[in-house]
Amino acid sequence: IDACPMPVRVYIMMQQLVSVKYRSNVINTARMGNSHRRLSNARQRAVQASAVNMDQIKGARGQIRSVLEETYANPIFVRLAWHESGSYSDALKNEPWPAAGGATGSIRFKPELGYGANNGLDSALDLLKPVKEAFPEVTWADLIQLASSEAIEHAGGPHIPLRVGRRDAEGSKDCAPDGRLPAAAGPFPDKAANPAEHLRNVFHRMGLNDQDIVVLSGAHTLGRARPERSGFGKESTKYTKDGPGKPGGSSWTVKWLEFDNRYFVEIKEQRDEDLLVLPTDAALFEDEGFKPFAEKYAVDNDAFCADYVTSHLKLSELGSDWLEGGPVSIDA
């Protein structure tokens, strides 16, 4: 360059600068492209992680059925899901999720799991942990509700076309407050004057109605009350002293692992002192608003099962927030 006239040297230097700048732009563009692709891939992975994986859902359902065959866990799976959903407050539905409570998976965290009404539910979660490990893309919120719907059908009840894709609560900060679940007898925490008033206060707070109260109560056809957990029932009865499963407790029906309308029959007739009748049970036939539904279900198992599906689905979605692609029916 030094041997060339000034105009030529300037021209060559300009060309070299352009060449250097061009190569720099190419390198930067390539780097930006790689960075964009990495970001895009990360976003895709995030979307995939938050999407509903129906293969995993189906696998989890199958494993839950195996657990039910081996453990007689039908009643406690139903109770787990109910106590999770039953924490919902419709008055808080416009607050940031999951302030309203409900089917969020928060029951697996303390303090919620340690509330008095949830005594014994840690054993239900323990049964579901291997299912969660085998199918990690199924959220806890979905898994808990799946276990309940499968438990109903496995016990001879109706098929429940559950919808899945629930988002999971992340920790203790997302737990619902204590005191939102129904009590079985007075004095009631909401100062209700009688069991019917208390049931309405609790279930109407969730956005449910009188028919929902009655038909959902019919799920007590499954299971037993244990005095060491709830404070109600006997240590054992002629129907529970030999199991199946862990012996003891008081059942509402003779065949307490079969889902049908026998709960309403037994509550109405109250003919066997070894069968449990709580004040909130008796109220279904004493309250004028509840009684027509209870009378209907006592004589018509098909009507009970059909209406139960509708109310169970409502309960199962209280407070749910949905992942990418959700909700999706398990029958899809």
Per-residue pLDDT reduced to its tens digit, 168-196: 999 999 999 999 999 999 999 999 999 99
Q: Looking at residue 228, what is its pLDDT?
A: 87
Annotation says 83 is catalytic: yes
Catalytic hit among 36, 83, 198, 220: 83
Helix, strand, or coil (residue 80): helix
pTM of the entire predicted model: 0.85
Amino acid at 149: S
Backbone angles phi, psi at 251, to 5 degrees: -105, 160
**Using only C-alpha atoms, what is the Rg of the chain?**
29
The mean pLDDT of 281-305, rounded to a whole number, is: 98
Distance CA 178, CA 176 (A): 7
Confidence category of residue 50, pLDDT binned at 50, 70, 90: low
Confidence category of residue 46, pLDDT binned at 50, 70, 90: very low
Q: Looking at residue 20, what is its pLDDT?
A: 44
Label each residue of 281-325 as H, E or C: HHHHHHCCCCHHHHHHHHHCHHHHHHHHHHHHHHHHCCCCCECEC
CA angle 300, 302, 306 (to 5 degrees): 125
